Structure 1
Amino acid sequence: MNLKPIKTRKIYEQIVDQVGHLVAEGQLKPGDRLPSERELVERFQVSRASIREAISALEMMGLIEVRSGEGTYIRQVNIESVITPLAWMLFIETDSDLELYEARKILEVQAAGLAAERADDDEIKDLYEALEIMRMDLENHRLGEDADHQFHYSIARATHNKILIRLMNTLSDTMQKSLKSSRSRLYERGDTPKKLYDEHCKIYEAIKNHDAEKAQKFMLDHLLGVERHLAKYLNID
């Protein structure tokens, strides 16, 4: 049986989860006003501090709008509200590294192909600069997760697809945490840092040469390799 340890979740996270599900199910619609802070305290049977933490988190995710003197409202439908359920899911889930890599394969393999077709000189320069920082981090035995993130996000920008860029923005914080975590595990093997750098170089060269097919192949190879290592580390078949 695949049993997982029971995790204690913070109260405000449970409130965020409930509100998010109500929005996803259509029970709360854009423009609807949430109950007052006092009413929420009574309904949830929690402290004012927990309600305030939940409101702050929901506002940060773009799910609600706090209007001074008027109340708290579910935000109007737009591209942000389409992406919001993903944002609050990622905010709450803290053990989904492998699922994140599955999502990255869906998004980033296609993104690499689009970037190869559409990247202009400035965007190719951005990729090169991220790669150079990665090389210096490698020489100085640093993890280089910031340069890694900069490289992958630069690919998203080079697609010129606004929705894809917003999705990558939504994934951004979670990706940075995941990159740091996965790199620390991958760096346990002495040959891995150089291998990761070389994989990024191949992706860069394919995009620079506007070879969409190779860019997709090299990105997929890169993400599959990291995913396999993480699965082995986590003892997942």
Structure 2
Amino acid sequence: MGILESFKTIEVESPVDKIIRQIRDLIIAGYLKAGDKLPSERKLSDKFGIGRTHIRNAIKKLEFYGILTTNPQSGVIVNGTDMVAMAGLITNVMKIESPDFFSLVETRCFMEVFSVQQAASRRTKEDILKLQEALANYEAKVESDLPAEHEDFIFHIKIAEASHNSVIKTLMLIVLPDILEIYRNEKLCPKEEARKSLIEHRNILNAIIEQDSSLATNYMNEHLKDVLEFSKKKLNL
């Protein structure tokens, strides 16, 4: 091996990663506890010496993972999840590299199909209730023409939970937020897409309730077809 191969690539943290790292360190050290409120965007922006956009992006990413919650009246609050698990999730947020969008989507498709197959086979009555609640929350946002990315995320995570495979759920928590964020930012007709997704979500849930793994798989593949084609176009395949 030559000298050049001995050198390691220098990894430069983005401003968002740095914000997430500091929040993680404060949680681990016990300075941030469940129920604590973060300072305002303006104060954080002044403290970090960066624009508010970076602050919002960091908060949004941590909201996807359930680590933070934004309440219009109370501000940004630390959730009451187990702090050790929370710290591990934050580490995953920062460690994941930035693979091309197609690779993320392709990986998601494999996991989603397995997830829905197992959910249709293993779901319990409690799982069905959680899925119905997640679908109702998504439908409420779509029918009100409000952004529903978070509710979309939760519905798919509830399917992963219904599969009763903790590894699949963990992997979904890692790849889904970035996919939804990129897809949301670049799609031209989000309202039309959301209404189409609502119908597809209903079909998937009905197949899970009926414990029809084959039908659930078909509906999931149909649901993922658009985002897969979109990712291929981005890769110029």
Report what 2:97 is aligned to. Answer: 93
2:167 aligned partner = 163
Q: Does 1:133 align with 2:134?
A: no
Supply the distance in 1 between the matched residues of 2:184 and 2:111 (Cα, whole angstroms): 20
Contact kept, 8 Å, 1:118 with 1:160, in 2: the verdict is: yes
- Structure-2 residue corresponding to 1:41: none
**Partner residue of 2:69?**
none
Q: How does 1:97-176 map to 2 (within 5 A)?
A: 97-169=101-173, 171=174, 174-176=175-177
Query: 2:12 is matched with which residue?
Result: 10
CA distance in 1, matches of 2:236, 2:224: 17
Q: In structure 2, what is the Cα distance between the partners aligned to 1:235 and 1:165?
A: 27
Structure 1: which amino acid aligns with 2:236? Answer: I
**TM-score, normalised via structure 1 length:** 0.58
CA RMSD of superposed structures (Å): 3.2
Map of 2:213 onto structure 1: 212
Shift of 1:147: 0.8
Matched residue, 1:221: 222
Q: Where in structure 1 do 4 or more consecutive aligned residues deviate above 3 Å?
A: 87-92
Identity %: 27
Number of aligned residue pairs: 161
Task: Give per-residue Cα distances to partners, 1:111-150, cap 9 Å, x unaligned.
Answer: 1011001111111111111111111111222221111111
Task: Write the distance in 1 (CA, Å) between the matches of 2:131 and 2:98.
Answer: 29
Q: Are the aligned partners of 2:102 and 2:231 in contact in 1 as well (CA < 8 Å)?
A: yes
| Corresponding residue SS for 1:156 | helix
* Paired residues of 2:142 and 2:191 also in contact (CA < 8 A): no
CA distance in 2, matches of 1:134, 1:210: 22
SS of the counterpart of 2:194? Answer: helix
1:78-130, Cα deviation, whole Å (9 max, x unpaired): xxxxxx9xx86973533532211111111110110110011111111111111
Q: In structure 2, how many angstroms separate the alpha carbons of the residues matched to 1:105 and 1:163?
A: 15
Are the structure 2 counterparts of residues 140 and 9 from structure 1 closer, same or farther at C-alpha, using a change threshold of 3 Å? farther
User: Which is further off, 141-150 or 160-169?
Assistant: 160-169
Larger Rg: 1
CA distance in 2, matches of 1:139, 1:125: 21
Residue type of the alignment partner of 1:196: S
CA distance in 1, matches of 2:190, 2:154: 23
Q: Distance in 1 between matches of 2:137 and 2:121?
A: 24
Partner of 2:192: 191
Is there any run of 5+ residues in structure 1 with no aligned partner, and where?
A: 1-7, 13-48, 61-83
Q: Which amino acid aligns with 1:236?
A: N
